[in-house]
Amino acid sequence: MGKKERRRHPRVDIDDPISYLCVDSDGQQFAQNMGIARNVSQSGIFIETFCMIETEYIILAFADLESNITEIKGKVVYSKKNGSGTFKTGISFKGEHIENIKFIEKLIKYHHYKKENSRLIVSGPNRVQTTL
């Protein structure tokens, strides 16, 4: 028997790069890095990073389909090392509900656009090309 889902909102699997800014309680930025967004819900996001995020507050950002920078504030719930040497980081969104929904919609639209428009083309026995 599987584990019962305790989350209020279902998760949507994604696999997209995302930038993050670490901020202190006064909103001052002190570090910036990149990670991979693995899934998202109405209340939070799970990202995988190459270093532990050791701050309580964070700003997530990515370039949406219109090349605008889309951002959301969050609170780091956990950041722990996994078996592959990367770090699993859970973040709860701290924006207003409508801000959270707009961020999520843009991120999921970007994910689907990228997935539908990436093609692997094999053009001969030893030649592989990718197109975007």
pLDDT tens, residue by residue, 92-117: 999 899 999 999 999 999 888 877 77
E-only strand ranges, the chain: 12-23, 29-40, 44-49, 57-63, 69-81, 87-93, 119-122, 128-131
pLDDT score for 70: 93
How confident is the prediction for the chain on average, in pLDDT? 86
Task: Note the pTM of the prediction, 2 decimals.
Answer: 0.80
Least confident of 4-8, 18-22, 76-80: 4-8
The answer to whether the CB of 111 falls within 8 A of the CB of 15 is yes
User: Is 12-131 in CATH node 3.40.50.300?
Assistant: no
pLDDT score for 118: 67
128 or 19: which carries more pLDDT confidence? 19
For the cut 80, the answer to whether the pLDDT of residue 8 exceeds it is no
Least confident of 44-48, 103-107, 125-129: 125-129
Domain boundaries, the chain: 12-131
Closest by alpha carbon to 61, among 73, 79, 49, 46? 73
**Quick one: average pLDDT of 14-29?**
92
Q: Which helix (H) or strand (E) holds 109?
A: helix 97-117
pLDDT score for 128: 47
pLDDT tens, residue by residue, 47-78: 999 999 999 999 999 998 888 999 999 999 99
